[in-house]
Structure 1
Amino acid sequence: MAPVTRLLGGEKYMKKTTKRRFGALVVGLSLVAAACGGSSDSDSTATPGGELEGMKGTMPLVNLSAEFKDGLNAFWTAAGNTALEDYSYAAESFDSVMLVALAAEAAKTDGSALAAQIQAVSAGGEACSDFAACVAIIAAGGDVNYEGASGPQDMNGNGEPINASYGVLTFGADNRFKYEDASYVLADAPESDIVPNAEVTVERKGDGVLKIGSLLPETGSLAFLGPPEFAGVEYAISLINAAGGVLGNPVEYVQGDSGDTSTDTASTTVDRLLGENVDAIIGAASSSVSLTVIDKITAAGVVQFSPANTSDKLSTYADNGLYFRTAPADKLQGAVLANLIAGDGAATVYIMALDDAYGTGLADAIEANLTAAGVKVVGKKIYDPKATTFDAEVGEIKTANPDAIMLVTFDEGSRILRTMVEQGIGPKDKKVYGCDGNMGNALGENFDSGK
């Protein structure tokens, strides 16, 4: 049977017609491995040891075009920043801004009513990927279907993508992975998950000037995601303003740090952004951080749009119709990871996950899909990410002696891996898997430096 071609992010992806069902999701394996995301600078940083060699993991990933990466980096470095080494969630951040701006044009307001147009501009109309071209369609009375840098971005009624592309990445002998060696998995939510558009229940009038704030990690456990996310937001705003802005005025921007859940940084930042009368806040990156501020943001009639939240809790959260995300829900990644682990022949798995909404949610999704696939989960340890050592937790994994170990972590994952290597159950001894919370070359850098 001929392979099926699917368009993602402007690039053709080949998907096998044979599909394997995991839980409620259908996952199709891609047939291509192509350049994606990383720069040559990132890939060439060699370090001794190779203790992470063979570790695999997934993250939401598409084959970013050279045009997008070059334009993003040129903009970012021209602003005085260091060239990007990783592009994690850069495109999702870019698309979040584009969707807000197009929705404001469609709604003819920067007030809360723009939220009712976000799903509409993401699907169903005339395809466009350039802001000016999309605005021209709207001005002519047409409907647009924004095709983003991170993929089609066809949104469900609850404000999240109904399909996703994941990259499968493998660490090499230099404790780094190469984006160009990625393979891809396409995952789609089942039809039963498709829901009507949520009603916007808080009215906030606009003033004709779209003002966007960011709530992204300059500090904290996800700070490694900050540069590409800030770059994506600011690059999108620059292109929008170069095309004439929104509602006839330049888009204004206020930057903010989200920190992590160990501080009150996010709440303080949100208070400042709301005080500056922003219309939309891009962030947070962490699902748990978003859950600490979502009520405050949406009660004010302000759109919250995350480029990286994946917790399933946010799919049905009472958000006044004002919360959106360009990152897919964990139920999709859970199926992809289970597919990967089962496909590698593991019969038993131990899951170690951080204790927050993201960690426990993704761990549950992985466990459910592994069980459905006939793979036995011999243990699931939910740990405190602020712990100073992980000897006891890793010792429990060693005693269980699983075929594979699934790590759902943030930056503390490097210390967990160091302990695993010391106890003889590292990636050279066991099948070890990561996820979007830890799969970046920062993991290898932190491991090598002892962080």
Structure 2
Amino acid sequence: MRTGILARNAAISAAALLVLTACGGGGDEGGTAAEGTDSGGGERQVNVYGTDGNMGNALGESFTEPSSLAGMSGTTPLTELGTDFQERLLQIDPNLQDYNYAGETYDAVVITALAAQAAGTNDANVFKEFVNGITFGGEACTDYAGCLEIITSGGNVDYDGISGPLSFTDAGEPAEASFGILQFGEDNQLDDTMTEYVLAGDGANAATDEGPAYAAPGATGEQLVIGTLLPLTGNLAFLGPPEVAGARLAVQDINAAGGVLGQEVRLVEGDSGDASTDTATQTVDRLLQEGVNAIIGAASSGVSLTVIDRITGAGVLQFSPANTSDQFTDYNDNGLYFRTAPPDTLQARALADLIINDGNNTVGIMALNDPYGTGLLDNTRENLISAGLSEDSIVTLTYDPQAANFDAEIQQMADFNPDAIVVIGFEESARIIEGLNQQGIGPRR
């Protein structure tokens, strides 16, 4: 899945830190959509874009008519996963449809385990100081077994994971990240042959402090217990299976290599639900009672904001594979919050570049009203303006994802009649896109 690396010409200003992986692309290629009406009364195409909250095959299952999503494209943090890793994930869960954030989840577990081994303790208040340094500066390694061998030999590690080079900043997040540009086909499923990859950010922005000296090689100690706070229910439930599979596979690999501190890692799983429920709070309370040292999750930025104080205040490390809100970069987390997912400041650059390269001059952005939606909306708008679009050529709006309908918001987009519409949302995106289709400005051909 998702093979081949194509390219797009950079359209954002030279100051933007977007690095493309190859050459070619641009023009009219990309998010082809329904036919609207131009100012002269003729027909034109409206390009529709999504982001990581809705660019998955689960979105297509909400549509019964063929081509309802055909040509809709969008961005999601994604690296070109190798066939071997995908096959190993399928051994964990044969029913996987997508692999979104599986690599980021796997890496979050591995980095946590390596930090605990390097620190010689399962105490998160101690091993948190080792997390950033695990991702840069030492001897390169690409799996837990290889990294553990370096630590056992008295060396320092630089873990380059499944999800990319990592290279964490002082804030505990990737300095650069790989993004997939995905596109739906005629069957309302992602067309893997159309996937392209771009890099955003700059590894030079990584932290320089590798942390304290490692504990004695081969240090032993109390068992490392890792909990998961991942979406098994709610509007991000489609992300749950690949993330759960990634966590299980990581623990399997860690234990097969000898575990952490001389013991097998214990995994305690839990549901995050979504921001409209208190599922996450209940799960966190249970995990804390189970004595976890670290919690992997949540996927939703909004959910993480409801529990981050509860987790870090208990002296437990929180490591999200999918939070992208830039609120976490400067959050007062006692140094206990990390993420393998890149902040929205990076995804916004990749998304804006995609929109500009497709030749759009007017853009409407519809975003759910939560930290994920508003953060990505604001950053995308800023990048579009930096790329040369005028402020009045961009119309933005936010919506309540729990609303009975989105008629007013859809009508606002229809009245604006832009070249491109960006939908930043979760499962409710299906109802919005169907409404856009009915107005003749959606992706249906």
TM category (shorter chain) comes to 0.7 to 0.9
Question: Cα–Cα, structure 1 residues 211 and 303, in superposed 2: closer, same or farther, change >3 Å?
Answer: same
Matched, 1:101 2:93: no
Matches within 5 A, 1:171-182: 171-182=184-195
SS in 1 for 2:179: strand
Matches within 5 A, 1:45-194: 48-77=65-94, 83-112=95-124, 113-189=126-202
- 1:31·1:183 contact (CA, 8 Å) conserved in 2? no
Deviation at 1:187, TM superposition (A): 0.7
1:89-128 CA-to-partner distances (Å, cap 9, x unmatched) read 1111111000000111100111021111111111111111
Over the matched positions of the two proteins, sequence identity in percent amounts to 49
Counterpart CA distance in 2 for 1:43 and 1:364 is: 27
Q: 2:18 aligns with which of 15, 26, 51?
A: 26
Matched, 1:355 2:372: no
Deviation at 1:353, TM superposition (A): 0.3
Deviation at 1:349, TM superposition (A): 0.5
Tell me the equivalent position of 2:307.
Answer: 293
Matches within 5 A, 1:227-306: 227-306=241-320
Query: Which amino acid in the other structure matches residue 120 of structure 1?
Result: G
Query: Which amino acid in the other structure matches residue 91 of structure 1?
Result: G
Deviation at 1:358, TM superposition (A): 0.3
1:363-417 CA-to-partner distances (Å, cap 9, x unmatched) read 0000000011112443111100001211110000111111110111111000000
Counterpart CA distance in 2 for 1:194 and 1:394 is: 43
SS in 1 for 2:273: coil
Question: Cα–Cα, structure 1 residues 41 and 417, in superposed 2: closer, same or farther, change >3 Å?
Answer: closer
- 2:344·2:379 contact (CA, 8 Å) conserved in 1? yes
Question: Cα–Cα, structure 1 residues 41 and 303, in superposed 2: closer, same or farther, change >3 Å?
Answer: closer
Deviation at 1:61, TM superposition (A): 1.0
Q: 1:404 aligns with which of 417, 420, 437?
A: 420
Tell me the equivalent position of 1:315.
Answer: 329
- 2:226·2:295 contact (CA, 8 Å) conserved in 1? yes
Question: Cα–Cα, structure 1 residues 300 and 147, in superposed 2: closer, same or farther, change >3 Å?
Answer: same
Deviation at 1:20, TM superposition (A): 4.3
The number of residue pairs the alignment matches comes to 404
- 2:364·2:418 contact (CA, 8 Å) conserved in 1? yes
SS in 1 for 2:66: coil
SS in 2 for 1:119: helix
Question: Cα–Cα, structure 1 residues 195 and 373, in superposed 2: closer, same or farther, change >3 Å?
Answer: farther
Question: Cα–Cα, structure 1 residues 207 and 132, in superposed 2: closer, same or farther, change >3 Å?
Answer: closer
Query: Which amino acid in the other structure matches residue 168 of structure 1?
Result: I
Tell me the equivalent position of 2:339.
Answer: 325
SS in 1 for 2:234: coil
Counterpart CA distance in 1 for 2:303 and 2:233 is: 13
- 1:49·1:174 contact (CA, 8 Å) conserved in 2? yes
SS in 2 for 1:174: coil
Deviation at 1:339, TM superposition (A): 0.6
Counterpart CA distance in 2 for 1:51 and 1:225 is: 22
1:270-306 CA-to-partner distances (Å, cap 9, x unmatched) read 1111111100000000001001111111111111000
Question: Cα–Cα, structure 1 residues 39 and 350, in superposed 2: closer, same or farther, change >3 Å?
Answer: closer
- 1:303·1:323 contact (CA, 8 Å) conserved in 2? yes
Query: Which amino acid in the other structure matches residue 170 of structure 2?
Result: G
Tell me the equivalent position of 1:422.
Answer: 438
Counterpart CA distance in 2 for 1:399 and 1:40 is: 30
Counterpart CA distance in 2 for 1:16 and 1:169 is: 13
Counterpart CA distance in 2 for 1:31 and 1:127 is: 28
Query: Which amino acid in the other structure matches residue 430 of structure 2?
Result: S
**Greater Cα offset, 280-289 or 141-150:** 141-150
- Give the TM-score normalised by structure 1: 0.83
Higher RCO (C-alpha 8 Å, min separation 6): 2
SS in 2 for 1:21: coil
- 1:211·1:277 contact (CA, 8 Å) conserved in 2? yes
Deviation at 1:198, TM superposition (A): 9.8
SS in 2 for 1:104: helix
Question: Cα–Cα, structure 1 residues 211 and 156, in superposed 2: closer, same or farther, change >3 Å?
Answer: same
Deviation at 1:427, TM superposition (A): 1.7
Q: 2:404 aligns with which of 388, 392, 398?
A: 388
Which structure 2 segments of 5+ residues have no match? 26-54, 213-219
Question: Cα–Cα, structure 1 residues 385 and 188, in superposed 2: closer, same or farther, change >3 Å?
Answer: same
Question: Cα–Cα, structure 1 residues 382 and 16, in superposed 2: closer, same or farther, change >3 Å?
Answer: closer
Counterpart CA distance in 2 for 1:190 and 1:98 is: 20
- 2:176·2:203 contact (CA, 8 Å) conserved in 1? no
Question: Cα–Cα, structure 1 residues 22 and 231, in superposed 2: closer, same or farther, change >3 Å?
Answer: farther
SS in 1 for 2:178: strand
Question: Cα–Cα, structure 1 residues 223 and 310, in superposed 2: closer, same or farther, change >3 Å?
Answer: same
- Give the TM-score normalised by structure 2: 0.84
Counterpart CA distance in 1 for 2:57 and 2:359 is: 32
Matched, 1:413 2:426: no
- 1:61·1:165 contact (CA, 8 Å) conserved in 2? yes
Deviation at 1:45, TM superposition (A): 13
Query: Which amino acid in the other structure matches residue 349 of structure 1?
Result: V
Tell me the equivalent position of 1:225.
Answer: 239
Matches within 5 A, 1:334-349: 334-349=348-363
- 2:11·2:357 contact (CA, 8 Å) conserved in 1? no
SS in 2 for 1:281: strand
Query: Which amino acid in the other structure matches residue 132 of structure 1?
Result: A
SS in 1 for 2:93: helix
Question: Cα–Cα, structure 1 residues 12 and 48, in superposed 2: closer, same or farther, change >3 Å?
Answer: closer
1:232-257 CA-to-partner distances (Å, cap 9, x unmatched) read 00111011111111100010111110
- 1:39·1:84 contact (CA, 8 Å) conserved in 2? no
